[in-house]
Structure 1
């Protein structure tokens, strides 16, 4: 119930009109039509994904349901990214028009029209990003796996002001984008092996850390299986911001250790390290030596003695 209410709040926020006049096609007519009903959009988004699994369940097409559902989420992601690109181009037009302002009515109207277009595109992108995120969460519920985009990151950034001076608008827009891709807040490091079955243990530890540090940002080692995938699913469920540190494969065998050092330079508040390889042992030791509060988790099978000794259990 809590997750559903959180989603309802996000939809209400994303589907609130933030600009009085709306236009997403250059030169098109301006409209003051309202946004769609947030609750209806939330239900429709969930049904788009869930219905695919329902109609294919217990049929010979059941095995492809997840592939089709993945495509539904990706279509929302693709349109949101396309709109984001249009908004970026519109913002550049606003920037180019600012120096030419001479107080004339023609120039002022041109700048106002350009800003309306940019703000409208931002509003549209936020709404589509909210739909995409909810569709991805539904995909995760149905499959047990977090939906992942083939490239780039998922960000959404809602504006609250409806009328902003052009330069202030561009500054706020730049800061909003920067914060979406490099969020500010207490960092909690997370890393673990690619073989892990105990989802509940990781969720429990993350929940307890999150309760102490509600504004935390989770920084993971970006693996698409095992511990990192579980942590990414937890972040999607709770709305916790996530930074994924990928490997620089050009560094060869050093890549994992260099990534550890990069993560530690963030000055994290805490670290959660699950049993895995020497990469995880290195991160745990370095975190402990830096006097970072470090939670060490081990698998619930019989292959833990080496990790236990190395981590001083």
Structure 2
């Protein structure tokens, strides 16, 4: 986005206005801060300002774009996506630290709320702890907003969706209201549960790490999405191959489908087969499977026994290098 845009005719006003307006997500995260906040634990409450929403959005996009622009047509070009991924991940890492701090504060508030101490000193301590927890949540939501926008820039310029190395990527809108301790904890628990457990009908996807033919998968997922517009896509969490193709489909702005990566947790030979049973226990409405190893065959059998409709793709006879799917809205260079 250009900070020095000019207009020569009336028709340019619409474009200039769009360039000078922050998105609703940035206005929600940065545009209406709490009257008082605590920037760091141990500090007193004060009227700290938030960054300007438009500046935060523009600079966030500009940094990612600059990384790709700097390295394009140079011997460092193959490293651009890796460096940009790390930039996005820095927001995710710090937001995760804030979320853990927020959880610890909520536990402390819970213990204090159950206390019978009604003194003025105790009440002030409880109110300060609640304000610190809300301030931490406000900081986390702002970083998550910037992470999500930088991740969208990464997707447009690299051709692949950004995903964290570990853990979940979730976001929620800010709700800065003054409420009692018990209601505050109840509201926060419900919001967290909704963020981590999407409620839409589940479509399971699984395929091998070596898979190149992305177009049939996207077409079939488009067909399912047309029938089940509120679907949540659950994959087996591999960062390349068929799972990556499905993740790229879900990340498109025109798709907007929640993606849950159901990776392998634990150790031992039976972990993957246990994961397959848990996928079936999610009671998916449909499943898409690409022929692969015995794990896909086992999942296919379990889904059939459960009576779940399956869309199966056979493995291509000739293996070819994995090609990036063309991302709608991406530049030809980024999608090539």
Q: Give me the TM-score of the superposition, normalised by structure 1.
A: 0.84
Within the alignment, does 1:247 sit opposite 2:259 as a pair?
no
Tell me, yes or no, if the aligned pair for 1:186 and 1:213 is still in contact at 8 Å. Answer: yes
Tell me, yes or no, if the aligned pair for 2:33 and 2:49 is still in contact at 8 Å. Answer: no
Cα gap change, 1:139 to 1:114, in 2 (>3 Å): same
Within the alignment, does 1:268 sit opposite 2:261 as a pair?
no
Unpaired runs of 5+ residues, structure 2, are: 1-17, 320-336
Offset, 1:155: 1.9
Cα gap change, 1:136 to 1:226, in 2 (>3 Å): same
Q: Any idea what SS the aligned residue of 2:40 has?
A: coil
* Residue of structure 1 in register with 2:32 after alignment: 17
Tell me, yes or no, if the aligned pair for 1:18 and 1:160 is still in contact at 8 Å. Answer: no
Q: Any idea what SS the aligned residue of 2:93 has?
A: helix
RMSD of aligned alpha carbons: 2.7
CA distance in 1, matches of 2:109, 2:39: 14
Offset, 1:169: 1.0
* Residue of structure 2 in register with 1:308 after alignment: none
* Residue of structure 1 in register with 2:141 after alignment: 126
Within the alignment, does 1:277 sit opposite 2:293 as a pair?
yes
Cα gap change, 1:164 to 1:215, in 2 (>3 Å): farther
CA distance in 2, matches of 1:21, 1:211: 46
Cα gap change, 1:41 to 1:290, in 2 (>3 Å): same
Tell me, yes or no, if the aligned pair for 1:190 and 1:273 is still in contact at 8 Å. Answer: yes
Unpaired runs of 5+ residues, structure 1, are: 305-313
Map 1:132-211 to 2 at 5 A. 132-160=147-175, 162-211=177-226
Q: Give per-residue Cα distances to partners, 1:166-218, cap 9 Å, x unaligned.
A: 11111221232233233333111011122222333322322332233232221
Tell me, yes or no, if the aligned pair for 1:18 and 1:159 is still in contact at 8 Å. Answer: no
Cα gap change, 1:234 to 1:165, in 2 (>3 Å): farther
* Residue of structure 1 in register with 2:72 after alignment: 57
CA distance in 2, matches of 1:216, 1:83: 30
CA distance in 2, matches of 1:42, 1:210: 30
Cα gap change, 1:167 to 1:159, in 2 (>3 Å): farther
Offset, 1:72: 0.9
Q: Give me the TM-score of the superposition, normalised by structure 2.
A: 0.79
* Residue of structure 2 in register with 1:290 after alignment: 306
Tell me, yes or no, if the aligned pair for 1:188 and 1:217 is still in contact at 8 Å. Answer: yes
* Residue of structure 1 in register with 2:231 after alignment: 216
